[in-house]
C-alpha cells in the first residue's frame, strides 16, 4: 500500500508538471509546429485510458490522452515489429512491398524495386526544412543510415539481462529457439535500462535551442520481452491483486486449419503451460511492471517538453507497433491477426487538437505519415497509401468509410471496423467475429448466412494486389511461413 500511495503522489506531481508551459513563448508568426514522435514496442491496450486491463497504472500516458485525442480502435499493418515499422515509416502496406517478415533496417529499400527511392517519414520532414533527431527502436533496430540528421543510436539487444534466464527459455522445454521471453525483477536501477537512457537523450534535445522546427523521435523497447524491470515497478502490482485477462480453453477449435498454421508460434509459452506451472499471474505482473516503467520514461519526456519554449507549438504522437497477447487465445506473443495482437495505442496532442477526446473509428498506423504532414501543413507525399485522420481529430464522430487492415504473410489479411473483424486467408478460409456479441473473438461466425453481405463488403476493401515475399525478409520459426516464402524464391 505504501508503494501504491507513493506512486499515486508521484503521479499527481507529474500531472501538474505536464500542464502547458506558463513561460513566455514568442515563436515566429505561423511557425511550423514541431513533432515529438514517441514509439513504444509491443504495447497492447493495457493503459488506464484504454481500460484494457483493470490493474494498469499509466498516469503519464493517461494524461497525454486527456490532453488530446485517443484513438481506441487503431491497428497495425503487420503483427510483428519489422514489417509494421517499415510500413509506418514508408507509408506503404506490406502487401505493396512484400515485407511480411522481419527485415534489417538497411534492407528496406532493397525489398522491392519500387522501394529504391522511397522517402522515409523523417527524411520527408528534413526535406521540408525540419531538423530531425532520433534514438532508440524506431524501425526494427533503429533506423537506416541517413534517416535522421542526428542519429542517437540503435537498440543493441533488449537488455540488460541476467547471466541466466529466470523462468523461461524455449530450449529448456525442447522447443526451437527464437524468443527472448522471460520475466522477473532485473536490473536494480532504472538508470541501467536502455529506455531510461533514450528518455534522457530526448530530454537533452528538447532543452536545446533549435532555429528550425524539429522532428524528434524516441523509440522505447519495453514492454518487449524479456519482461524485466526494477523491483519498484513490480511492487505496484502485488501478485494477489492481479486479474487475469479473458481466456476460453479450446476457443480455437472452430478456426480453419490454415489459421492454426499461420498462428503457430513454436518457441513461445502457452497459457495452458503457464496455468499448469502457476506462472500466468507472474507474467501479467511482469508485463504490467514493464508498462509502468516505460510510462514513467514517457512522462519524463513530456515534462521536459512542458517546461520548454516548445510546449505550445509541438504535436505529440504516441504509438505502439502492434499489440500483444498475455494469455488470451492460449499464447504469450504478438504474431496474430486477432484483436489483442493488431490493436495498438495511438494518441495525438498539441496545437489545434482539442483535449479530452476519443475516437472509436478504425484507423491504421499507416495513417501516421499523411496525418503528420497534414497537421504540419506540409505537402502530401504521393506514395502514401494511408489516410490523413486529421478530419477525425477535428470531429471524431463524423462518418469514416475506411477500415483497418492487418496483413500477416502473403494474402492473409484481417480487416477491422467498429463492430466486425474479418480474416481471409490465402486459400479462401475465413474467420469472422462480431464484437457486439463476442468482444473476445471466441466464436468464429464465418459460416453464418446472416453475415454474408457484410463479409462481401469487407472483402472488397482488402488489397487488390499482394506482392510476393521479399527475399530481404525472414520468415522466422514458423513452418507455414517458411514454406510460403519458399514458393516465391
In the predicted model, what is the mean pLDDT of residues 160-181?
A: 95
Confidence of residue 159 (pLDDT cuts 50, 70, 90): confident
Confidence of residue 61 (pLDDT cuts 50, 70, 90): very high
Alpha-carbon dihedral of residues 338, 279, 168, 162, nearest 10 degrees? 120
Share of the chain above pLDDT 70, in %: 94
Share of the chain above pLDDT 90, in %: 91
Contact 363, 73 (CB under 8 A): yes
Inform me whether the pLDDT recorded for 389 exceeds 60: yes
Q: Which residue has the cell 506540409?
A: 378
**The pLDDT value given to residue 156:** 74
In the predicted model, what is the mean pLDDT of residues 78-93?
A: 98
H helix or E strand, kind and range, residue 198: helix 194-206
Confidence of residue 28 (pLDDT cuts 50, 70, 90): low
Inform me whether the pLDDT recorded for 21 exceeds 50: no
**Burial state string for 15-38 with b = 16 or more CB within 10 A and e = fewer than 16:** eebbeeeeeeeeeeeeebbbbbbb
Q: Which residues are catalytic?
A: 81, 140
Q: Which residues are within 8 A (CB) of 161 and not within 5 positions of it... i.e. 6 or more apart?
A: 186, 226, 228
Inform me whether the pLDDT recorded for 6 exceeds 50: no
- Measured CA to CA, the distance from residue 351 to residue 440 in angstroms comes to 37
- Measured CA to CA, the distance from residue 464 to residue 30 in angstroms comes to 41
**What pTM value is reported for the model?**
0.94
What residue ranges define each of the domains in the chain, with the CATH number in brackets? 2-6+32-486 (3.40.720.10)
Assigned C-alpha cell, 53: 486491463
**The pLDDT value given to residue 486:** 96
Inform me whether the pLDDT recorded for 147 exceeds 50: yes
Judged by phi (left if over 0) then psi (alpha if -120 to 50, else beta), residue 30 lies in: left
- Measured CA to CA, the distance from residue 281 to residue 93 in angstroms comes to 36
**The pLDDT value given to residue 29:** 57
pLDDT tens digit string along 314-325?
A: 999 999 999 999
Inform me whether the pLDDT recorded for 8 exceeds 50: no
Q: Which residues are within 8 A (CB) of 447 and not within 5 positions of it... i.e. 6 or more apart?
A: none
pLDDT tens digit string along 325-367?
A: 999 999 999 999 999 999 999 999 999 999 999 999 999 999 9
Q: What is the DSSP string of 127-177?
A: HTT-EEEEEESSSSSS--TTSSSEE-----SS----SS-SS--GGGGTPPS
Contact 63, 434 (CB under 8 A): no
Angle made by CA atoms 337, 338, 342, in degrees to the nearest 5: 70
Inform me whether the pLDDT recorded for 211 exceeds 70: yes
Inform me whether the pLDDT recorded for 26 exceeds 50: no
pLDDT tens digit string along 418-473?
A: 999 999 999 999 999 999 999 999 999 999 999 999 999 999 999 999 999 999 99
Inform me whether the pLDDT recorded for 20 exceeds 60: no
Confidence of residue 5 (pLDDT cuts 50, 70, 90): very low
H helix or E strand, kind and range, residue 232: helix 231-234
Average pLDDT score over the chain: 94
Amino acid at each position: 500500500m505504501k508503494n501504491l500511495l507513493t506512486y499515486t503522489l508521484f503521479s499527481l506531481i507529474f500531472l501538474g508538471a505536464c500542464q502547458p508551459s506558463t513561460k513566455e513563448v514568442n515563436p515566429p508568426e505561423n511557425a511550423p509546429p514541431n513533432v515529438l514522435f514517441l514509439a513504444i514496442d509491443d504495447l497492447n491496450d493495457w493503459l488506464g485510458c484504454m481500460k484494457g486491463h483493470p490493474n494498469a497504472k499509466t498516469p503519464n500516458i493517461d494524461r497525454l490522452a486527456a490532453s488530446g485525442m485517443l484513438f481506441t480502435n487503431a491497428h497495425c499493418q503487420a503483427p510483428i515489429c519489422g514489417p509494421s515499422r517499415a510500413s509506418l515509416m514508408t507509408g506503404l502496406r506490406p502487401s505493396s512491398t512484400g515485407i511480411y517478415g522481419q527485415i534489417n533496417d538497411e534492407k528496406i529499400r532493397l525489398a522491392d524495386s519500387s522501394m529504391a527511392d522511397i522517402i522515409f517519414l523523417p527524411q520527408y520532414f528534413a526535406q521540408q526544412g525540419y531538423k530531425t533527431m532520433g534514438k532508440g527502436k524506431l524501425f526494427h533496430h533503429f533506423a537506416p543510415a541517413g534517416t535522421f540528421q542526428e542519429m542517437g543510436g540503435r537498440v543493441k539487444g533488449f537488455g540488460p539481462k541476467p547471466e541466466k534466464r529466470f523462468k523461461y527459455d524455449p530450449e529448456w522445454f525442447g522447443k526451437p529457439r527464437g524468443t527472448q521471453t522471460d520475466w522477473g525483477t532485473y536490473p536494480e536501477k532504472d538508470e541501467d535500462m536502455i529506455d531510461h537512457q533514450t528518455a534522457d537523450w530526448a530530454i537533452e534535445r528538447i532543452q536545446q535551442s533549435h532555429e528550425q522546427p524539429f522532428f524528434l523521435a524516441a523509440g522505447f523497447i519495453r514492454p518487449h520481452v524479456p519482461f524485466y524491470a526494477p523491483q519498484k515497478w513490480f511492487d505496484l502490482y502485488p501478485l494477489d491483486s492481479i486479474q487475469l485477462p479473458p481466456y476460453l480453453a479450446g476457443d480455437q477449435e472452430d478456426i480453419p486449419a490454415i489459421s492454426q498454421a499461420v498462428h503457430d508460434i513454436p518457441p513461445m509459452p502457452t497459457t495452458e503451460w503457464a496455468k499448469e506451472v502457476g506462472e500466468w499471474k507472474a507474467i501479467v505482473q511482469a508485463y504490467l511492471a514493464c508498462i509502468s516503467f516505460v510510462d514513467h520514461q514517457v512522462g519524463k519526456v513530456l515534462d521536459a517538453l512542458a517546461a520548454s519554449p516548445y510546449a505550445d507549438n509541438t504535436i505529440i504522437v504516441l504509438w505502439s507497433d502492434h499489440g500483444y497477447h498475455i494469455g488470451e487465445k492460449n499464447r504469450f506473443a504478438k504474431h496474430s491477426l486477432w484483436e489483442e495482437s493488431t490493436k495498438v495505442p495511438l494518441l495525438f496532442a498539441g496545437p489545434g487538437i482539442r483535449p479530452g477526446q476519443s475516437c472509436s473509428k478504425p484507423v491504421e498506423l499507416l495513417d501516421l505519415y499523411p496525418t503528420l504532414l497534414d497537421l504540419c501543413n506540409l505537402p502530401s507525399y504521393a506514395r502514401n497509401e494511408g489516410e490523413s485522420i486529421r478530419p477525425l481529430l477535428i470531429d471524431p464522430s463524423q462518418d469514416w468509410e475506411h477500415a483497418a487492415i492487418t496483413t500477416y504473410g502473403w494474402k492473409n489479411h484481417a480487416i477491422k471496423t467498429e463492430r466486425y473483424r474479418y480474416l481471409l486467408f490465402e486459400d479462401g478460409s475465413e474467420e469472422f467475429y462480431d464484437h457486439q456479441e463476442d468482444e473476445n473473438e471466441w466464436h468464429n461466425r464465418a459460416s453464418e448466412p446472416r453475415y454474408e453481405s457484410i463479409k462481401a463488403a469487407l472483402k472488397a476493401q482488402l488489397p487488390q494486389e499482394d506482392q510476393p515475399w521479399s527475399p530481404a525478409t525472414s520468415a522466422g520459426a514458423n513452418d507455414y511461413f517458411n514454406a510460403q516464402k519458399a514458393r516465391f524464391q
